[in-house]
Amino acid sequence: MFIKFNKMSNKFTCVEDFEKYAAGTLPRMVLGYYQSGACEEYTLSINKKAFNKLRIVPRVLRDVQNRDLSVTVQGVQVKVPIGVSPCAMHKMAHEDGECGSARAAGNHGAIFILSTLSTCSLEEVAEKAPDTVKWFQLYIYKDRNLTASLIKRAEKAGYKALVLTVDAPVFGIRYKDIKNNFTLPSHLKLGNFSNELSKMNNTSGSGLTKYVMSLFDDRLVWDDVKWLKSITSLPIIVKGILNATDAKIAADLGCSGVFVSNHGGRQLDTSPATIEALPSIVKEVGHRIDVYLDCGIRHGTDVFKALALGAKMVFLAQPILWGLTFNGQKGAEEVLNIVINEFDNTMALTGCVSLDQIEKDMVVHESLYSKI
């Protein structure tokens, strides 16, 4: 199922090439926001490095001619176990914004998760990417009527699940945003809101942090998940889980999935990489509900490793923004091309023709070999 690359960008052979392009193109304030992590960015750095500590042990001499990468997720079959994770304000990268990212995902048969803090409204994305399987990422605002209205709008627009972010009662301390006085550029607005909620005030320090502190509910507890379940029939997936005990609580409350995530290393610095936290969470709840993972995925081999350790799907965030920066929707499609092709290649080289043939013992920690 190899996909041909757009000739225009055939010099770009990996995700890193797109990131380098974006780093030389985006304004400093925007690049700093997209690229940065919390404090000294230790967790940001290990999100990727932790994947490199894992070794893939292939099987050979198995017929791999006909490979199938499809998976059924929340009752819907998608073509690949790779989706687009929620990230805010895509129009800072390119005018195509979240509509372009959603169409790119749909053209690959992938799931797209729209952020509450998107620069295209959830209705606009639904209209312009009608064939894409879409989930809506939700922050709970202090104004519960506002929160409920977002959910009702998502239901009406055809979103298939709610992804509740739970690791941001306050926003992490991000040095680059503070130094750059980050705020949403004045020509843009948050698409899901009107009036003052659609803008961030120009201020010293991070305008986004001040927006969050003034509007998001920092009293969020597990009872609020029960409240969500009482007002919607959509599956609820809890995002920001790094602890197996929290994963069990989510499963016990009837959530449909947990999302192993450290918010791209942007919240609590020195928290574990997601691939490090994944095995314990899978062991605790993987037999009951779906377990998803984001943060640090840059290669098809990363996808394979996460699935081998029990993730049902993985999701990309930053790489999509780098693709958008390069060439809007087409650039995002090409980034997905690269990762999907690499994953398909990994499947072939490990002797797997379907996702259920990916076995846990195909991935081992490097320490196993260092002892030999």
Please check if 137 is assigned to a binding site.
yes
Please check if 153 is assigned to a binding site.
no
Please check if 65 is assigned to a binding site.
no
Q: Which of 90, 94, 108, 263 is catalytic?
A: 263
Please check if 90 is assigned to a binding site.
no
Determine whether 263 is an active site residue.
Answer: yes
Question: What's the rounded Cα separation, in Å, for the pair 279 and 307?
Answer: 11
Angle at 267 between CA 265 and CA 270, to 5 degrees: 60
Please check if 144 is assigned to a binding site.
no
In sequence order, which residues have a C-beta less than 8 Å from that of residue 334 and are 6 or more positions away? 5, 6, 9, 12, 18, 323, 326, 327
Please check if 77 is assigned to a binding site.
no
Please check if 149 is assigned to a binding site.
no
Please check if 198 is assigned to a binding site.
no
Please check if 244 is assigned to a binding site.
no
Question: What's the rounded Cα separation, in Å, for the pair 19 and 334?
Answer: 13
Please check if 39 is assigned to a binding site.
no
Please check if 165 is assigned to a binding site.
yes
Please check if 237 is assigned to a binding site.
no
Please check if 223 is assigned to a binding site.
no
Point out the residues that are catalytic.
263
Residue list, annotated binding site for FMN: 86-88, 115, 137, 165, 239, 261, 294-298
Residue list, annotated binding site for glyoxylate: 33, 139, 174, 263, 266
